[in-house]
C-alpha cells in the first residue's frame, strides 16, 4: 500500500496562484494527489505547477474566472479531462475588502459577493456529481469538499460588514451541504483561519490596509502552510472520521 494518503486521488484547488491556495496545492501533491490549480493569474499558476513537478507530483494550471458559471463548469471539466476524476475540492478563492457601510462602495461589496459566494457556488455545483462518483469508486470510499472561511464567519467586527456577510454565509452553506451529502460519502468541511500572512490585505486601499496591518502588528501571523496542513489533515482522515469544522487562530489572536 502506498505511504501517501492521497495516492490516486485528484484535487481541485481554487485561488491556487498564491497564499493558502498555492500552499494547499503543494501539500496535497506531497500527499500523492494530482492537483488542478484554478485562478486567473496564469504566470503564478505555472510557477506552482513547476513547484509541484519538483516534488515529483502532477498538476495542471486552469486559468478561469470562476465568478462566471460557465468558466467554473469548464474548470471542473478541464480537471476531469486531464485526470479522469475528482476526489477533493478546496474552495479557497476569496477577497477581503474592508470599510464601513458609510465609506465603502457597492462595487466593493459586489466584488466580495461575486468571488467569496457566487464563485464558490458555481464550482461546488459543477463538482458535486463527480465528488459523489469518486466516493463510490475510490479505494478510500470517501471524497472531500473543503471551504476556506475565516474567523470573520464567527466574529463580526466593525469595518468588515460586507466581508463578514460572505463568511457567515459560507459557514451556513457548508453545514447545510454537509447534511445533504452525508449519505453520498462526501465529507464537507469548513476551515476558518485567523490572521494569516498572505496577500489578502494587498487589495485594500492605503489607509485601510495600513490600519489593518496596525491591528495585527503585535501578532505573529499564521503562515499559509499552517492552513494547508489543516486542510491536509481533514482530507486524509479515514472515512469513519469527519472533521466538519476547524478554527485555526494565530496564537496571540483574541478575536
Give a yes or no: residue 2 inside a domain: no
C-alpha cell at 226: 499552517
Residue 142, domain CATH: 3.40.50.720
Nearest 10 degrees: Cα torsion 215, 221, 224, 226: -140
Q: Domain span at residue 178? A: 10-248
225 belongs to a structural domain: yes
For residue range 83-115, list pLDDT tens digits in order.
999 999 999 999 999 999 999 999 999 999 999
User: How many structural domains is the chain composed of?
Assistant: 1
From the list 73, 130, 163, 233, the catalytic residue is 163
Q: Does residue 31 lie in a domain region?
A: yes
Q: Is residue 232 part of a domain?
A: yes
**Cα 177 to Cα 182: distance, rounded to the nearest angstrom:** 9
Burial 40-56 (b: 16+ CB within 10 A, else e): eeeebbebbbeebeeee
Domain presence at residue 214: yes
Which residues are bridge partners to 188 per DSSP? 145
Domain presence at residue 5: no
Is residue 163 annotated as a catalytic residue, yes or no?
A: yes
pLDDT tens track of the chain, all 255 residues?
Answer: 347 999 999 999 999 999 999 999 999 999 999 999 999 999 999 999 999 999 999 999 999 999 999 999 999 999 999 999 999 999 999 999 999 999 999 999 999 999 999 999 999 999 999 999 999 999 999 999 999 999 999 999 999 999 999 999 999 999 999 999 999 999 999 999 999 985 555 555 554 444 455 556 678 999 999 999 999 999 999 999 999 999 999 988 888
**Residue 255, in any domain of the structure:** no
Query: Is pTM beyond 0.85 here?
Result: yes
Residue 153 lies in a domain: yes
Amino acid at each position: 500500500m502506498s505511504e501517501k494518503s492521497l495516492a490516486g486521488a485528484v484535487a481541485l484547488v481554487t485561488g491556487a496562484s498564491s497564499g493558502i491556495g498555492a500552499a494547499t496545492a503543494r501539500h496535497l501533491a506531497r500527499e500523492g494527489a494530482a492537483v488542478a490549480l484554478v485562478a486567473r493569474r496564469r504566470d503564478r499558476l505555472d510557477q506552482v505547477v513547476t513547484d509541484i513537478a519538483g516534488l515529483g507530483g502532477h498538476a495542471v494550471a486552469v486559468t478561469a474566472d470562476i465568478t462566471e458559471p460557465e468558466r467554473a463548469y469548464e474548470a471542473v471539466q478541464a480537471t476531469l479531462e486531464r485526470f479522469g476524476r475528482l476526489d477533493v475540492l478546496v474552495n479557497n478563492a476569496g477577497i477581503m475588502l474592508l470599510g464601513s457601510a458609510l465609506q465603502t462602495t457597492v462595487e466593493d461589496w459586489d466584488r466580495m459577493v461575486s468571488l467569496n459566494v457566487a464563485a464558490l457556488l458555481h464550482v461546488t455545483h459543477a463538482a458535486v456529481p463527480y465528488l459523489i462518483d469518486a466516493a463510490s469508486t475510490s479505494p478510500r470510499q470517501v471524497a472531500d469538499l473543503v471551504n476556506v472561511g475565516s474567523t470573520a464567519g464567527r466574529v463580526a467586527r466593525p469595518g468588515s460588514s460586507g466581508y463578514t456577510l460572505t463568511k457567515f454565509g459560507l459557514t451556513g452553506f457548508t453545514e447545510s451541504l454537509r447534511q445533504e451529502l452525508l449519505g453520498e460519502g462526501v465529507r464537507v468541511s469548513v476551515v476558518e483561519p485567523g490572521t494569516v500572512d498572505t496577500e489578502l490585505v494587498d487589495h485594500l486601499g492605503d489607509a485601510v490596509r495600513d490600519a489593518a496591518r496596525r491591528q495585527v502588528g503585535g501578532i505573529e501571523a499564521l503562515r499559509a502552510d499552517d492552513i494547508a496542513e489543516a486542510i491536509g489533515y481533514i482530507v486524509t482522515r479515514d472515512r469513519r472520521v469527519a472533521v466538519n469544522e476547524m478554527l485555526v487562530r494565530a496564537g496571540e489572536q483574541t478575536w
